[in-house]
Structure 1
């Protein structure tokens, strides 16, 4: 057996062991209950141990396994507190770190994709990574193009075999979805994995990523509060961008930020999310805390927001977010149930012969409408959990409605991004002028 198949087999075995480990801990838990330990104490113990195994494995494997874990980490705010609490530390750890690959491998990748003369341009490279994620890691360096002099750069290097590992992991996780599901009650794992699979090829293509980042860097070059580093060079599985000095990511603000920091960076995040499509015709579709960096202010005050990782980008067919999206949110805010249902039918969310209760449709859309209905909206874990439970509780009327609704392909990535953004804002506990931002940047939303 060659090296790559051997590694693939080892990865598959470790992923397959996850549900077995959970089942084993359940059996041990049953024994403890029979021995007199309280059910609540046993449940917490089982969840804690499961979390440690699950997210340690996902982080170490990188690839699709870590990508899956990071996607779960953004939705952590929607989970019931008794489920989320034991996992929170492991979940948020995946948002900002991962084990590095050897320096020799990094240099081999750079030589293979930037050319044998790479040292003439990349005149210095830090052997230790500054960041590591699901399909690649970043090193600091100095670049000399022979015309503008030396400048600090970030060198993003894809892990060798990342494509095979990513797709293999996601296929395995899809097969294990039913077994892993008990770890996250109420969360539908299959659609999440399907979405990751659908956009995996784009995330592996650094040329596409460089094009998107270049467009964003140019579009936001004059923005006072949002920074996107320009691309310096790209080749195969290596992308070089200008270095961006930052203190930490939004994952740190989630853990330790003051309320002023939460509100400030939460607002900048929302502004970036909606201004991006207006300025570039693309939607940054990976609202993951590790992709957003805090750039300290020179005067010690609240700083700017830096944005990284443009591998997951939705290229919008009309060059902007759909006009119907903003218009229908405005209609829902005005509680015009009949017009709302008619508009959703026209966009393909409700099929022609499907009968629905307009009042239930309005209630179902609350997560998208409520933040826009107030001058300033406060996102909280409690609010996110309420929305999640209303939609996912089989006893709720809105649960049955969900089975009747259809998500058009053109809205799929927009929908996932919006949900992820709500999860991030709820983790932050940010209060933001959501309606004002939509009026400025979401087509169809501004009142006539």
Structure 2
């Protein structure tokens, strides 16, 4: 049962202590487990028990704190498919819950926020309003209601104290970044935290989110592939949008049919490549809770608080790099990496090292349709993050320029969800249609 909270815990010292309890708790349980193994306990059984308890503690704390902590947990959920199977299993249920559940804000606090944001006569704007939230986001919760004109709507209300908590959490999590490798081996969380911090302010103003959603809704109005709910009203800490009834991708991941998995995976991939070209924006919050599959086969998209402006679409240099990798023209690719600051200053990397590093990641575009699986992603990610591998040493020479951080995180997140879906997706067609610089004629124009 979820316990009500008056507001996000604001006091920095208490929030820091809760976050610090995660790695400390993991270390303590590891010590206990080591002692039990010395005493003759079954190693596999003990390790499984410790991992499950670590998962429970991690996502309990992140969900309770909300703010930046919960947002970080949601970002981790996309990486789950890349984590080795023996570590991943205990996290799946907790991660899925974190995408849509957290202790709710009491009705009185919700009413106070609505008074402040929509005016004290806000009830006149609704035919009905359900005080029990239907879902929790990282810095707010969602209520179902009926607008005065009869439309069913979703009302997202920001938690009191979300602004202070979000900033404080991200600062604290930066300090603990290295320790989270204990919880999810093979994941580097620092770039994720850096980007979350950079987008903090715009996500705290729901008017910006509303404007982003209006742009997507206009661009995809009547589109046979995508549905974006229209915005009904907005204020700095409240946004009202049309209600979307569909099956969340988190549910399809768990028990969807093969047809649903393939449809969802293909549309998700196309959405992230097509929207910069069609909207001039990139939806930058790729986790399964933000995407749903409608009965008519369209992909529904919600939560536009995090977007990246791309008025010219995705960078053409990215398409050029992918094309060169697919064609195995690694000498040209290496030169392009140097030219565009993808190699750290003072470091050197050879064509052969780049070839060995990138080959596993180009599998999805070597055939008309690619089967995204956890096993494939674990193998690709595992090689790159194995300290003893040549690929890891290559990775240490590479750099991700700031203007590419959001693009890479979103596209890798999209791939992670496709792997969770176990979906077949036509990546070659999607890139040929939507990625500037990828097709031969576009590539030649860049030379």
Alpha-carbon shift at residue 183 of structure 1 (Å): 1.7
Taking the aligned partners of 1:369 and 1:164, their CA distance within structure 2 comes to 42
Taking the aligned partners of 1:6 and 1:244, their CA distance within structure 2 comes to 32
Q: Are residues 1:34 and 2:28 paired?
A: no
Q: Tell me the residue number matched to 1:444.
A: 437
Any residues of structure 2 matched to 1:31-430 within 5 Å, and which? 31-144=35-148, 149-246=149-246, 248-297=247-296, 303-316=297-310, 318-350=311-343, 354-366=347-359, 368-430=361-423
Taking the aligned partners of 2:205 and 2:240, their CA distance within structure 1 comes to 14
RMSD: 1.7
For structure 1, the residue ranges without an aligned partner over 5 or more in a row are: 298-302
Post-superposition CA distance 1:206-245 (Å, at most 9, x none): 1111111100000000211210011111111001111222
Assess if the C-alpha contact under 8 Å between 2:10 and 2:164 holds in 1.
no
Taking the aligned partners of 1:104 and 1:55, their CA distance within structure 2 comes to 27
Assess if the C-alpha contact under 8 Å between 2:8 and 2:159 holds in 1.
no
Alpha-carbon shift at residue 294 of structure 1 (Å): 2.1
Q: Are residues 1:17 and 2:17 paired?
A: no
Moved over 6 A (4+): 3-6
Taking the aligned partners of 2:345 and 2:72, their CA distance within structure 1 comes to 35
| Residues 365/341 of structure 1: CA separation in 2 closer, same or farther (3 Å cut) | same
Assess if the C-alpha contact under 8 Å between 2:8 and 2:162 holds in 1.
no
Post-superposition CA distance 1:20-77 (Å, at most 9, x none): 2112211211221122112222211111111111111111221111111111111011
| Residues 103/367 of structure 1: CA separation in 2 closer, same or farther (3 Å cut) | farther
Alpha-carbon shift at residue 406 of structure 1 (Å): 1.5
Post-superposition CA distance 1:179-208 (Å, at most 9, x none): 333122222232222222122222212111
SS at structure 2 position matched to 1:33: helix
Alpha-carbon shift at residue 394 of structure 1 (Å): 1.4
- Give the number of aligned pairs: 435
Alpha-carbon shift at residue 367 of structure 1 (Å): 5.3
Assess if the C-alpha contact under 8 Å between 1:345 and 1:352 holds in 2.
no
Taking the aligned partners of 1:8 and 1:361, their CA distance within structure 2 comes to 44
Assess if the C-alpha contact under 8 Å between 1:96 and 1:289 holds in 2.
no
Alpha-carbon shift at residue 368 of structure 1 (Å): 4.5
TM-score of the superposed pair, with normalisation by structure 2: 0.93
Alpha-carbon shift at residue 405 of structure 1 (Å): 1.1
Taking the aligned partners of 1:164 and 1:419, their CA distance within structure 2 comes to 29
Q: Tell me the residue number matched to 1:300.
A: none
Taking the aligned partners of 1:127 and 1:367, their CA distance within structure 2 comes to 49
For structure 2, the residue ranges without an aligned partner over 5 or more in a row are: 1-6, 442-447
| Residues 260/102 of structure 1: CA separation in 2 closer, same or farther (3 Å cut) | same
Assess if the C-alpha contact under 8 Å between 2:10 and 2:165 holds in 1.
no
Taking the aligned partners of 2:98 and 2:59, their CA distance within structure 1 comes to 7
